[in-house]
Structure 1
């Protein structure tokens, strides 16, 4: 009986020796979020303002990601790659935190430039598993958004566009004037308005979708879960190898059972 108990205790310790290598494959989608950082994003028709609301929504999206790589592009009159594609979501949030209207000195809304910068940020030449989420409140000042969308489509990139702002437009805060707004040469307050026709065409021409955000809810969670996850094909993002140790507790259970059986046979005699 003593030996049986001894072997059972060893089995509970789950002894392991010997191992084999196991390949772990991680699949997902590459997502670039392009955020408008022009001064019009300081408008307060969406609280606390369009910029802060957009950053909050993108942060929620990053928290929701499931093994997908994410990158960030900031754009106004030009565009920059703010954060390369990464699986390090904490790093992505750090890059997101520093987004602001002073990041790009050239003002305006260069949608085409932003789309091209985002497309070039994808490292893979495969024409699949790529999505751009474009968040903007302005018009296409450069006039080449549709050409850029066609370029994205040729590279297998779907563009999902979120237009942010009230239908009637909103005044643009002027950082140089306390509680003041930007004015044109006639002294009239400048209003920023969406060119929804262009934004819709950009999305539809790439197989993406367009959402208008009036109250601040950008539906990023819905776009990710229902559009990107369901409609964008996944690919293998990385492969890792790990040791899988062989469990040997079964041997000790068997020895314990043999000891119990032997004990019973001895007692019967």
Structure 2
């Protein structure tokens, strides 16, 4: 398995096309300037030491050295060993509301980003627990099956937006049912769902779904996002707010936290309800409940002993720079006078 320790350094490779373009622009300019001096054959006899091929070769060596240095700085690593073992942990499924109302700004910067930041902090504090992500609006989708790959979990989390689900709404019940299908309900215990929603405009029997989950020993904890006073829902265009959603009467739509519904779902699911704020996401209280659950033993496979490979790229870069240094930009007149294939007339 290959990975880069500092993958952000690879952005420096974007300069390669610019270097190539600049090289050919300068080369073309030099050719035009040379053509202005007179007949090409005559001019070349006046500058016999000038080489028109060696600068290109030197540039190629420099470019290869630059690319190698960038890749080396990113430090490619190879996982050379797959370690199999047994772990004990709980299975957590995050049910994240991505309806348009989650763009309301009563939690900074908005409800959705506040929730994503809380989940990211949760992932940082996990050790042996497995985590999955389900997103929902009018429909529910599995964004990430339960896994111990926390890096993948963060990657999927960062890509979540309100545009990722085409149908708007708040199908909490569908999300809970999908979470139940994602769990292995045959082996072990210690399963819970963390529902993060504003609870507004729910479209199905969320309470019934939570009750069915609790009957199979899966707790449903709920984090309420938003405020009872509510906040308008912004409209974005090219990443910038351009106004607010309005109803058919032209009035600005205000989305409010449906706290009674959130409490009812958590009660039916045998979990707890916490209302998030800018200062406290509420995940701490819920994780205290998760820590009390019975841990499940499961098999895990992970790449271990990642070995650095930056040294190969840096060595290649040094070699290219040495070659570039020893190649002169001028022609060797003695070598150019040799004509090994010349046929001498008797």
Q: TM-score, normalised by structure 1?
A: 0.76
Q: Structure 1 residue 25: deviation in Å?
A: 3.0
Q: Which runs of structure 1 show a deviation greater than 6 angstroms over 4 or more consecutive aligned residues?
A: none
Quick one: which of 219, 224, 249 aligns to 1:186? 249
Higher relative CO (Cα under 8 Å, sequence separation at least 6) belongs to 1
Does the residue aligned with 1:233 lie in a helix, a strand or coil?
A: coil
Please state how far the C-alpha of 1:239 moved relative to its aligned partner: 6.4
Offset, 1:123: 2.5
How do 1:109-124 and structure 2 match up within 5 A?
Answer: 109-124=170-185
Q: Tell me what 2:269 maps to.
A: 206
Of residues 121-130 and 202-211 in structure 1, the stretch that sits farther from structure 2 once superposed is 121-130
1:161-176 matches, within 5 Å, as 161-175=222-236
Q: How far apart are 1:126 and its partner, in Å?
A: 4.3
CA distance in 2, matches of 1:30, 1:113: 19
Partner of 1:18: none
Shift of 1:215: 2.7
Alpha-carbon offset, residue 178 of structure 1: 4.4
Paired residues, number: 216
> Of Structure 1 and Structure 2, which has the larger fraction of its residues in helix?
2
Is 1:57 the counterpart of 2:118? The answer is yes
1:228 aligns with 2:290: yes
Q: Which residue of 1 aligns with 2:143?
A: 82
Larger-gyration structure (1/2)? 2
Tell me, in whole angstroms, the C-alpha distance in 2 between the residues paired with 1:150 and 1:178: 39
Give the aligned partner of residue 29 of structure 1.
90
Residue matched to 1:142: 203
TM-score between both structures, scaled by the size of structure 2: 0.59
Structure 1 match to 2:159: 98
Q: Distance in 2 between matches of 1:206 and 1:138?
A: 15
Q: Give the drift of 1:221.
A: 2.8
Give the deviation of 1:222 after TM superposition: 3.0
Distance verdict in 2 for CA 1:118–1:210, change over 3 Å? same
- Confirm or deny: 8 A CA contact 1:152 1:158 kept in the other structure: yes
Listed as ranges, the gaps of 5+ residues in structure 2 are: 1-83, 302-346
How far apart, CA to CA, are the structure 1 residues paired with 2:199 and 2:266?
Answer: 15
Pairwise CA distance, 1:114: 1.1
Provide the C-alpha distance between the structure 2 equivalents of 1:185 and 1:24, rounded to a whole number of angstroms.
59
Gaps of 5+ in 1: 1-22, 241-269
Q: State the alpha-carbon separation in 2 of the partners of residues 183 and 127 from structure 1.
A: 49
Residue by residue over 1:187-239, the C-alpha shift from the partner in whole angstroms, topping out at 9 and shown as x without a partner, is: 11111122222211211222210001133521213321x11001x21111226
Deviations 1:137-192 (A, max 9, x none): 13242141111111211222101100011220111112359431111111111111
Contact 1:127/1:157 (8 A) holds in 2:
no
